[in-house]
């Protein structure tokens, strides 16, 4: 079946530090992969996505590369800011096999301190 | 992307009462979903809201507890019935399809429910 395993948090970093949040997946087909971000008190916002192997999604300085060989979609940012403090969710969608069903990871809470 | 609004944004309710949450989209969308996010947890899909027919519920969720309506392609409601403190959660609607990409879901701002 489909599932997402996400690095557990919480993660605390100093401003300008390098960020990696690990995400691996299991899928029966060829999923699309997503990172969503949830800022305090808000809903989920799509951060970036990739739809096929070797695609790189990027947005707001964040990047993630769809690695089929390692079934991974790790989120990275070279220099985090205090405003990046949020909860990050990795997710997959396998629309060809399971319709619009989304599979979410457990979320990783990031706190960036000045 | 489409603009999604939810009402109410938050509420505090008494045990045994019911609350209806509205989700409004500014354009027609194919798919609408309802999720629950319990405190400190990830998202759990409650049901897919089908336009003109009964919602499709996920395992562990039933229509009597979470009745859903979807009268058209831009609007849906979720009712949390006979509430207990365990229903305290954030309830989120999401959309996909229509003018949006079918493999991507976009979320509303959520409704924060506290049941006393």
Q: Which residues of B touch A95 (CB under 8 A)?
A: 102-103
> Encoding tokens for residue A16?
């300008």
- Give pLDDT tens digits for A16-72: 999 999 999 999 888 999 999 999 888 899 999 999 999 999 999 999 999 999 999
Would you state the pLDDT for residue A97? 57
Residues B30, B101: contact at Cβ < 8 Å? no
Q: What is the mean pLDDT of each run of 10 residues along chain B (116 residues)?
A: 91 97 92 91 91 89 96 95 96 82 84 96
Q: Are strands B111-115 and B10-13 parallel, antiparallel or unpaired?
A: parallel
Would you state the pLDDT for residue B40? 83
DSSP string, B33-91: EEEEE-TT--EEEEEEE-TTS--EEPTT--TTTS-EEEEETTEEEEEE-S--GGG-EEE
Q: Between A44, A51, A93, which is nearest B92 by CB?
A: A44
Q: Is A42 on the interface with B (CB under 8 A)?
A: yes
Would you state the pLDDT for residue A4? 94
Q: Which residues of B touch A59 (CB under 8 A)?
A: none
| Cα–Cα dist B63/B49, whole Å | 11
């Amino acid at each position: 079946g489909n599932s997402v395993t996400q690095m557990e948090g919480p993660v605390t970093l100093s401003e300008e530090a390098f960020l990696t949040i690990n995400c691996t997946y299991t899928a029966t087909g060829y999923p699309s992969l997503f990172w969503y971000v949830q800022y305090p008190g808000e809903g989920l916002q799509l951060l970036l996505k990739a739809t096929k192997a070797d695609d790189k999604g990027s947005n707001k300085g964040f990047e993630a590369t769809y690695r089929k060989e390692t079934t991974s979609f790790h989120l990275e940012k070279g220099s985090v800011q205090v405003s990046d403090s949020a909860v990050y969710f990795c997710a997959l969608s396998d629309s060809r096999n399971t319709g619009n069903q989304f599979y979410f990871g457990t979320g990783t809470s990031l706190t960036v301190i000045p | 992307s489409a603009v999604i609004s939810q009402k109410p944004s938050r509420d505090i309710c008494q045990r045994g009462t019911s609350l209806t949450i509205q989700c409004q989209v500014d354009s027609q969308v194919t798919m609408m979903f309802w999720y629950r996010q319990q405190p400190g947890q990830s998202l759990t899909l409650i049901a897919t809201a089908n336009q003109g027919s009964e919602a499709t519920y996920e395992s562990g969720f039933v229509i009597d507890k979470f009745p859903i309506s979807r009268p058209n392609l831009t609007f849906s409601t979720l009712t949390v019935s006979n509430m207990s403190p365990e229903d305290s959660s954030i309830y989120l609607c999401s959309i996909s399809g229509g003018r949006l990409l079918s493999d991507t879901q976009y979320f509303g701002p959520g409704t924060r429910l506290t049941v006393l």
